Each structure stands twice: as C-alpha cells, then as structure tokens.
Amino acid sequence: MTWSVTARGAHQPDNTAFTQQRLPAWQPLLSASIALPLFFCAGLAFIGLGLGLYYTSNGIKELEYDYTGNSGTSNCSVSCQCAWYFSLPELFQGPVFLYYELSNFYQNYRRYVVSRDDAQLSGLQSALRQPINECAPYQYSAGGLPIAPCGAIANSLFNDSFSLWHQRSAGGPYVEVPLDRTGIAWWSDYHVKFRNPPLVNGSLALAFQGTAPPPNWPRPVYELSSDPNNTGFINQDFVVWMRTAALPTFRKLYARIRQGNYTAGLPRGAYRVNITYNYPVTAFGGHKRIIFSSISWMGGKNPFLGIAYLVVGSLCILTGFVMLVVYIRYQDQNDDDDDEE
C-alpha cells in the first residue's frame, strides 16, 4: 500500500514496528550445524560435571546403624540403655557429623505440620499464654494451662540421646568423644525464629510459669539443657526437630565432632555409642538409625546427582550421534538444510 506521511488521516494507525508487529524477531531455528555441536558440548560438559560429582560423593564416608531393636539384630529394645560397638580401620575423615534417622515418620503430615505456634516459639508473651488453635489438642493441658511449646510437633520431640566413646587401643579405656551439640540448628532459626520469652527476675523458669509442658515430655521446656543458651525454645535439639522434615525417612543432625583430638575426624580404633532409648517407633512401623557421616562441598553422600549428570550427558551425546547420522543421510538424499528439533 502506498501512503504518504503528509496526508495522514486522523484515524490512520501509527506505523511503528510495534503496532505493525514488525519488531525485529529471531526465530530459533536449530540447524544441524548448530544443534549438533551444541549437543556434543552439552553432553561433554554434563559428563564432566557428573564425574566430578560422582567422585566427590564417593569420597564421603558414611557409617550407619539401625538400633530400632525389634528384629533381634541389635541389642536395643524399648526404653533402656543400649550400646553399639564399631571399629574404624582407618581415620574417618572429618568433620564428622552425627545424625539420627527416622523412617516412616511422616513429619510432613499436614495436620502434624500445622500443629505448632510460631509466635509462641518466637518468644511472644501473648502467644505463650494463648497458643493458636492449630495446636489443638496439644493447646491446653488437662489442667487448663497453656502448653509451651504447644502442638504435636513439639509433643513428639525425639528424645533418644547418644554418647560416643573411643577406645584408642584394644582393651584400653573408652574415652568419651566430645560431641558438639551446638551449631546444629540453622543460624537463622536459632537466632531469629526461636526466642525464649523475656526472663522474669533473670529466671527462665519463672518466665514459663503458668504453662504446662507437652504431655509426652518428662520435664518442662526450660529444663531441656543446663546451658542457658541452649535451653527453653532455643534448645538446639528442639529447634532442629521443629524444622519438619520433607520426606518420611529423614535425618536430623544430632551433633558435630570437631573438638579436642577429633578435629581431623575420628581416628582409627574401636568405638562405642551409648544410646538412651526412649522414643517409640513401633507404632508407625518406623526404624531408628544412627549415622556418622563426613560431608563435602556438595553436602552429604548422594551419588545420584553425579549419576544423573553422567546419564544426561551421555544421552546428549547419543542423540547427537543419532542426529548426526540422520543429518548425513538426509543430506545425501536431498541437499537441503533442515531444522532439527
């Protein structure tokens, strides 16, 4: 159409690239010459990454022990003290983390997940006295007192405890390995989300006066630990437990081993883990495990990611080859360029 700028009508649309839909556009046409190298490069990169990941993951050591105790394979049973003996033939490269693992425990169950009061846990006075309704039936005790901390999550706090003993030489005495129980929770949880209510006369116990502990707890929340920085709502075991796990089989960090002679890891020798067995798991058919694990830059031991990268990388290369073959044959038939997508 011909039209002149001088004689434009009042209703004539603007002739801009936008309104005329003539914006410079790039059509992603993948021709074989681009697609094939792309596939090969990506494949190689993926394989390289995968190999690195795989070896890193393989370098991580893990030692685990199921102490559930109902199958007869272990010496543990309900509510008792029991022990697990193991020996390390060589140095267990540190830093070593001690986890406990529960399986078949659906911490992500909807009604379980919501059964907590974050306001109460952040030290809010009003919430301490009046927990939110989501906590029910662990909202108020039978005596009518508000439960602190309220809710099902807190009520089901994992209460097994472990201690690690090291026998340097055969027949020698067992020396307790110091377990660092601090710093196992997220920094943000410990410092921001979880706060004790303001002390009354310098006493945490008084601050919690007028509240009841969760029904399953043998002692109130302010007696969780003797360390004033690790008791009440900011007890790190408690904080870790309150961060509900994503999957029914989950680990939670119990302690880090990094003090004294054990900064480099666990030296070789015999070890004993003393377990105070309290937590019932038979009700849901669960298992309890204790795990020693070292970590790397990519976290715990998990070969999957490396394998996945390897598989995807090889798939890329494979399809690249297939396409190359197709491309060559296609080109033979008719000398035409075609997009491969």
List binders of another protein among 276-335 (CB under 8 A): 283-286, 297-300, 302, 304-305, 308-309, 312, 315-316, 319
Q: Which residues in 80-109 contact another protein (CB under 8 A)?
A: 99, 101, 105-109
The span from the CA of 158 to the CA of 250, in Å, is 12
Among positions 126, 218, 246, 333, the unique one binding another protein when judged by CB under 8 A: 246
* Residue with Cβ nearer another protein (24 or 202): 24
Rounded CA-CA distance 162/254 in Å is 9
The answer to whether residue 12 forms part of the interface with another protein (CB under 8 A) is yes
134 binds another protein (CB under 8 A): yes
Give the whole-angstrom CA distance, residue 106 versus residue 237.
Answer: 18
Return the structure tokens found at 51: 């190999």
Residues 275 and 129: their CA atoms lie apart, in Å, by 35
28 binds another protein (CB under 8 A): yes
Count of residues interacting with another protein (CB under 8 A): 87
Determine which residue in the list 24, 144, 198, 202 makes contact with another protein, applying CB under 8 A.
24
Strand partners, 69: none
**Rounded distance, CA 128 to CA 146, Å?**
7
Binding mask 170-189 for another protein (x = CB under 8 A): ----------------x-xx
> Which stretch of DSSP H or E encloses residue 43?
helix 32-59
Q: Is 93 in contact with 290 (CB distance < 8 Å)?
A: no
Q: How far apart are CA 220 and CA 205, in angstroms?
A: 9
Euclidean distance between CA atoms 163 and 62, whole angstroms: 18
Quick one: which segment of 25-33, 173-181, 226-234, 325-333 binds another protein (CB under 8 A)? 25-33
From the list 152, 154, 321, 185, the residue with the least C-alpha distance to 253 is: 185
Only one of the segments 68-76, 81-89, 110-118, 329-337 lies at the binding site for another protein (rule: CB under 8 A); that segment is 110-118
Among 44, 51, 88, 119, binds another protein (CB under 8 A): 119
Which residue number, 13 or 171, has a Cβ lying nearer to another protein?
13
Q: Give yes or no for residue 40 binding another protein (CB under 8 A).
A: no
